[in-house]
């Protein structure tokens, strides 16, 4: 009897308490809990997980995670969901792509799977790594809450050491993709709000002393002769050994009481560039732990209105790209990325803008190998809650997680801290704070953001420009902005004193059945916009690159006219990732011309 009334008490609590989620919003899983994973062998936790969507957050209210696995006939209380049985879904995946009824589902969903451990757990440590979960992910192990992570596109780690038991364990992840005013991005975007565990989930086993971080780079002082390594080890090791065999480097690095240390080493590496993407095998050992990476050395800098790579002025022949697939949503495979780079190669690109959030880390790894330059970005998009300190903390954490994940990638040259945000004092403080954070965590790269144009004065004018290295400009003359002459005037009126990259321009072009033959949304009109844009922009000497919008058509809720039908059609290639529109050839020809002119110039020099 007593047990039943305790149950009734809990049930009422679960119905009436609207602060039910407060204890689970610690955001304790953040950039400080990351470990360095290069060279480690993960245990994959991908595959089938038990799954349930939970629109009303019943799971958190009723504490589904605290239920013990047992046969139904042995349960003494009624239950609304049993995490240990029922539907399964594959991980990684986006739930929208799995069932029609989940297509527009926004809310919480529960993923459960067993985790079998040896009888002897040993003395080492174990870390769960989630490649990405959109957006809030709460981690439970054997009924205990271990922390949560905010941010839909960066990896996070949760240490399981001390919580695991020999034999069978149960891991439960609650993933919530609700769009709210305080998240980054917030409610309104122009890409689809996919949900789920959409990148790899894995378990890493390490010794007691674990290498948390390793940052190895050429010192950007113009000498091309010094390499710096910064290291962070947790667990008591007093020194670490850095090795780059091909450069004859074997250097002991003393670690302070905080586990941090750094070294400056004389070296003359062959420089990395898109034409010659040379990478070196790098390793670091500390105590019993060891990590590896393949790292390219190069210098990127801004001088006046130029962007220089290894001292040479550069024009970024780029294209923007989303992480989106007609069949898989945000799930990315190596084959998909290789196709993306092959298409960029056919466009004669040397550069990609990975919009509008951190893409799969494999993108930068492949760019390192294949020789592409990258702009990487966090989703500080449109009207963020710039005056909310919690939102700032979240954005800053996403930025640091991205930087720590990718700062050994030579291909990444720009960290972008936002896109088309309204010009307010709060926005300026927020984004300046992010730009400063990027420099503090990585002084070797350039910062940027898609900035603003003063339309009354037809000038590039944004208070943020002072605080970043490269001014990104999204402009849609010929599309959203009708009067093309205004673009010509902006070009004439502006004197930015810094390199400008046209981070977006373009037009929708529908193709196939039902597509219009002329006018807005026709392929012919899209081609015309590209031709006029190129003609205008090529005359502006401070424009040091462009990444038109966008390589592939992509899914988005807000585009619903009869030519769009749920897709943004500004892709140079349709959503099948195969059918090229006419504008593809126009851009490709322009980039070929620029590439050849640069090569010719170099020969003459
Ligand atoms: C923009 C946004 C981008 C949109 C694009 C469009 O300015 O930055 O996210 O998708 O325009 O197609 O309107």
pLDDT digits (tens, 9 = 90+) for 439-452: 999 999 999 999 99
- Prediction pTM value: 0.97
Q: How far is the CA of 547 from the centre of ligand 1 (A)?
A: 12
Ligand 1 in reach of 416 Cβ (< 6 A): no
Residues 199 and 132: their CA atoms lie apart, in Å, by: 5
Q: At what angle do helices 361-370 and 334-346 cross, to 10 degrees?
A: 50
**Is the peptide bond preceding residue 135 cis, with omega within 30 degrees of 0?**
yes
Whether residue 33 has pLDDT greater than 90: yes
Ligand 1 in reach of 568 Cβ (< 6 A): yes
Q: How far is the CA of 251 from the centre of ligand 1 (A)?
A: 48
Mean pLDDT in residue range 270-297:
98
Residues 40 and 288: their CA atoms lie apart, in Å, by: 13
Q: What φ, ψ does residue 51 adopt, rounded to 5°?
A: -150, 145
| Beta strand spans in 144-248 (E) | 144-150, 156-159, 167-176, 196-197, 201-206, 210-218, 226-234, 239-244
Ligand 1 in reach of 324 Cβ (< 6 A): no
In this prediction, residue 600 has a pLDDT band, given cuts at 50, 70 and 90, of confident
Whether residue 1 has pLDDT greater than 80: no
Mean pLDDT in residue range 83-111:
98
pLDDT tens digits along 452-505: 999 999 999 999 999 999 999 999 999 999 899 999 999 999 999 999 999 999
Whether residue 412 has pLDDT greater than 50: yes
Atom of ligand 1 nearest to the CA of 189: 9
Whether residue 605 has pLDDT greater than 50: no
In this prediction, residue 2 has a pLDDT band, given cuts at 50, 70 and 90, of very low
Please give the torsion angle defined by the CA atoms of residues 594, 313, 486 and 568, in that order, rounded to the nearest 10 degrees: 70
- Would you state the pLDDT for residue 4? 56
In this prediction, residue 383 has a pLDDT band, given cuts at 50, 70 and 90, of very high
Which one of 356, 380, 558, 568 would you pick to mutate in the ligand 1 pocket, going by the greatest count of ligand atoms within 8 A of its CB?
A: 568
Ligand 1 in reach of 547 Cβ (< 6 A): no
pLDDT tens digits along 325-343: 999 999 999 999 999 999 9
pLDDT tens digits along 47-57: 999 999 999 99
Q: What φ, ψ does residue 264 adopt, rounded to 5°?
A: -115, 125
Q: Which amino acid residue places its CA nearest to atom 6 of ligand 1?
A: 190
Mean pLDDT in residue range 32-40:
98
Of 472 and 14, the structure prediction assigns the larger pLDDT to 472
Q: How far apart are the first and last CA of the chain?
A: 92
Ligand 1 in reach of 401 Cβ (< 6 A): no
- Would you state the pLDDT for residue 5? 54
Q: How far is the CA of 190 from the centre of ligand 1 (A)?
A: 6
Atom of ligand 1 nearest to the CA of 355: 9
Look up residue 227 and give its two tokens.
């390499």
pLDDT > 90 fraction of the chain, expressed in percent and rounded: 95
Q: Which amino acid residue places its CA nearest to atom 7 of ligand 1?
A: 474
**Is the peptide bond preceding residue 185 cis, with omega within 30 degrees of 0?**
yes
Residues 176 and 156: their CA atoms lie apart, in Å, by: 15
- Would you state the pLDDT for residue 482? 87
Mean pLDDT in residue range 233-258:
97
Mean pLDDT in residue range 196-217:
98
pLDDT tens digits along 532-557: 999 999 999 999 999 999 999 999 99
- Would you state the pLDDT for residue 604? 41
For the chain, counts of helices (H) and of strands (E)? 9, 36
């Amino acid at each position: 009897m007593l047990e039943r009334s305790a149950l009734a008490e809990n049930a009422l609590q679960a119905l009436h308490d609207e602060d039910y989620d407060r204890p689970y919003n610690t955001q304790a899983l953040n950039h400080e809990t990351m470990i360095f994973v290069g060279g480690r062998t993960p245990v994959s936790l991908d595959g089938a997980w038990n799954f349930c969507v939970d629109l009303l957050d019943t799971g958190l209210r009723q504490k589904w995670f605290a239920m013990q696995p047992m046969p139904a006939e042995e349960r003494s209380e009624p239950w609304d969901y049993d995490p240990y049985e029922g539907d399964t879904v594959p991980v990684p995946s986006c739930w929208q792509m799995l069932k029609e009824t989940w297509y527009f589902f926004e809310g919480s969903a529960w993923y459960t799977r067993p985790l079998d451990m040896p009888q002897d757990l040993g003395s080492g440590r174990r870390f769960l790594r989630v490649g990405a979960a959109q957006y809030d992910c709460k981690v439970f192990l054997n009924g205990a809450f271990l922390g949560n992570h905010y941010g839909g596109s960066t990896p996070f780690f949760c240490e399981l050491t001390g919580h695991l038991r020999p034999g069978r364990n149960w891991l439960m992840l609650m993933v919530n993709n609700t769009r709210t005013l305080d998240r980054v991005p917030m409610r309104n975007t122009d890409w689809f709000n996919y949900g789920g565990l959409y990148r790899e989930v894995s378990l890493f086993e390490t010794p007691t002393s674990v290498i948390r971080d390793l940052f190895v780079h050429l010192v950007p002082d113009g000498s091309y002769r010094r390499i710096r390594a910064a290291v962070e080890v947790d667990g008591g090791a007093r020194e670490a050994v850095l090795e780059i065999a091909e450069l004859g480097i074997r250097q002991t690095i003393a670690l302070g009481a905080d586990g941090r240390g750094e070294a400056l080493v004389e070296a003359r590496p062959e420089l990395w560039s898109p034409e010659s993407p040379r990478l070196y095998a790098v390793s670091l050992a500390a105590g019993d732990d060891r990590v590896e990476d393949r790292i390219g050395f190069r210098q990127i800098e801004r001088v006046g209105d130029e962007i220089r790579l290894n001292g040479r002025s550069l024009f970024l022949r780029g294209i923007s790209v989303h992480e989106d697939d007609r069949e898989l949503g945000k799930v990315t495979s190596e084959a998909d990325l290789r196709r993306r780079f092959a298409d960029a190669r056919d466009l004669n690109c040397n550069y990609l803008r990975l919009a509008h959030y951190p893409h799969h880390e494999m993108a930068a790894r492949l760019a390192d190998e294949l020789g592409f330059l990258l702009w990487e970005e966090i989703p500080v998009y449109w009207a963020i809650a710039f005056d909310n300190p919690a939102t700032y903390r979240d954005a800053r954490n996403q930025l640091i997680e991205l930087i720590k994940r990718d700062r050994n990638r030579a291909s990444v040259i720009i960290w972008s801290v936002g896109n088309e945000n309204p010009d307010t004092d709060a926005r300026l403080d927020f984004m300046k704070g992010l730009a400063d954070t990027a420099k503090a965590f990585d002084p070797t790269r350039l910062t940027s953001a898609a900035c603003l144009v003063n339309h009354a004065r037809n000038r590039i004018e944004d208070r943020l420009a002072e605080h970043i290295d490269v001014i990104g400009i999204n402009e849609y003359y010929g599309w959203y902005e009708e009067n093309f002459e205004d673009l010509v005037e902006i070009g004439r009126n502006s004197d930015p004193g810094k390199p400008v990259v046209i981070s977006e321009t373009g037009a929708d072009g529908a193709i196939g059945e039902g597509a219009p033959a002329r006018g807005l949304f026709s392929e012919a009109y899209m081609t015309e916009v590209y031709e006029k844009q190129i003609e205008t922009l090529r005359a502006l000497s401070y424009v040091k690159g462009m990444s038109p919008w966008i390589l592939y058509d992509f899914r988005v809720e807000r585009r619903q006219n009869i030519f769009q039908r749920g897709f943004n059609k500004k892709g140079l290639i349709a959503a099948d990732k195969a059918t090229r529109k006419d504008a593809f050839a126009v851009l490709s020809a322009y980039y070929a011309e620029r590439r050849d002119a640069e090569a010719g110039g170099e020969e003459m020099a």
